[in-house]
């Protein structure tokens, strides 16, 4: 039965740590940009070939 008290205490400490990290992330601006992640998929990241022989092969 004593192990339950230990597990509850450890769980509460872990939950408070995660809550603190979440609040820190929100206050530091990690979630401010809502637009860019939605359109990032349509950006092309292709490298341009240096000459036409690379483009043919």
Take residue 22 and report the two structure tokens written for it.
């979440």
Asked if residue 54 has pLDDT above 60, the reply is no
Q: What pLDDT is recorded for position 8?
A: 98
User: Is the CB of residue 25 less than 8 Å from the CB of residue 31?
Assistant: yes
Contact assessment for residue 29 and residue 35, using Cβ atoms and an 8 Å cutoff: no
Q: Which two tokens stand for residue 5?
A: 């008290």
Round the CA-based radius of gyration of the chain to a whole number and report it. Answer: 24
pLDDT, tens only, 3-50 = 999 999 999 999 999 999 999 999 998 888 777 777 777 776 666 666
Give the predicted TM-score (pTM) of the model: 0.57
Domain spans of the chain, in order of start: 2-42
């Amino acid at each position: 039965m004593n192990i339950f008290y230990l597990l509850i205490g450890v769980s509460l400490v872990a939950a408070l740590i995660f809550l603190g990290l979440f609040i820190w992330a929100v206050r530091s601006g990690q979630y401010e940009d809502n637009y860019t992640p939605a359109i990032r998929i349509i950006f092309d990241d292709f490298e341009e070939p240096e000459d036409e022989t690379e483009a043919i092969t």
